[in-house]
């Protein structure tokens, strides 16, 4: 309690926002569970699709089937940490007019939304970790990196959350010039899924499109954590990718 009282007042305010976001996630858990279940169904569908594509093949675009199975799980983790419920919270405030009350408060609007996202991610991320652990135990042929790459992977996943929040936040602000959010959210999801590597690994792209994707911030959401986990880069190379993620997070 003493440590809490010593925190700057603004920090206590943002921490309180994060705490309320955790409580809201637990209060409206059915909404999150439904969205999470749809993501899990998509994971199963993607597994079945790629299993059919790899039938009779050892590898595609330099990626083996074992690597692809691992890649799909990493993509699931990265996309599930910030749920659809968290994303629509930003646009919802704009569309229902409650943003006016937030802008009158002596708090930074973006930092407050980040605090909400991080608060809900504590609950949502916990469920993702549990489900992923079950999948890793039950599934066979899933790669497991060494300790250094595992640590860097965890840091990369956290950085990917910050990158995705920046993109989601910017997309949410477009609702100031729109009467609805559904089209904006779908467009954002389509662009992010393509250029992050969530839909198809970037190594499968034509050369010019892969190079373009690697200079955009989206690749920091899925491609970078996957490259680190699969040990496609050395520890020093992983640090460089992690620095690029952090740079994009700051820019966004």
User: Tens digit of pLDDT per residue, the chain (252 long)?
Assistant: 444 445 556 677 888 888 888 777 777 767 767 777 777 788 888 889 998 988 878 888 888 888 998 899 888 888 877 766 677 778 888 888 888 888 888 888 888 888 888 888 877 777 777 777 776 666 666 778 889 999 999 999 999 999 999 999 999 899 889 888 888 989 998 999 999 998 899 999 998 999 999 999 999 999 999 999 999 999 999 999 999 999 999 999
The CA distance from 226 to 222, in Å, is: 6
Angle at 141 between CA 140 and CA 147, to 5 degrees: 110
Report the candidate in 225, 189, 218 with the shortest Cα–Cα distance to residue 38: 189
pTM: 0.85
Report the candidate in 11, 17, 15 with the shortest Cα–Cα distance to residue 102: 17
């Amino acid at each position: 309690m003493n440590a809490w009282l010593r925190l700057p007042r603004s920090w206590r305010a943002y921490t309180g926002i994060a705490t309320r976001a955790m409580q809201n996630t637990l209060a409206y858990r059915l909404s999150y569970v439904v969205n999470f279940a749809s993501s899990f169904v998509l994971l199963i569908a993607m597994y079945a699709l790629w299993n059919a594509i790899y039938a009779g093949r050892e590898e595609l675009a330099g990626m083996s089937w074992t690597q692809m199975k691992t890649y799909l799980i990493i993509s699931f983790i990265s996309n599930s940490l910030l749920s659809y419920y968290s994303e629509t919270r930003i646009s919802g405030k704009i569309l229902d007019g409650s943003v006016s009350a937030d802008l009158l408060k002596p708090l930074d609007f973006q930092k407050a939304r980040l605090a909400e996202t991080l608060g809900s991610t504590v609950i949502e991320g916990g469920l993702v970790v549990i489900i992923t652990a079950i999948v890793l135990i039950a599934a066979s042929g899933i790669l497991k990196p060494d300790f250094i790459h595992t640590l860097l992977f965890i840091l990369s996943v956290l950085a990917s959350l910050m990158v995705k929040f920046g993109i989601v936040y910017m997309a949410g602000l477009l609702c100031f010039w729109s009467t609805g959010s559904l089209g904006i959210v779908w467009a954002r999801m389509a662009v992010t899924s393509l250029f992050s590597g969530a839909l198809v690994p970037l190594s499968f792209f034509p050369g010019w499109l892969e190079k373009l994707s690697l200079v955009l911030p989206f690749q920091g959401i899925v491609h970078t954590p996957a490259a680190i986990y699969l040990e496609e880069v050395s520890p020093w190379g992983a640090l460089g990718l992690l620095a690029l993620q952090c740079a994009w997070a700051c820019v966004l």
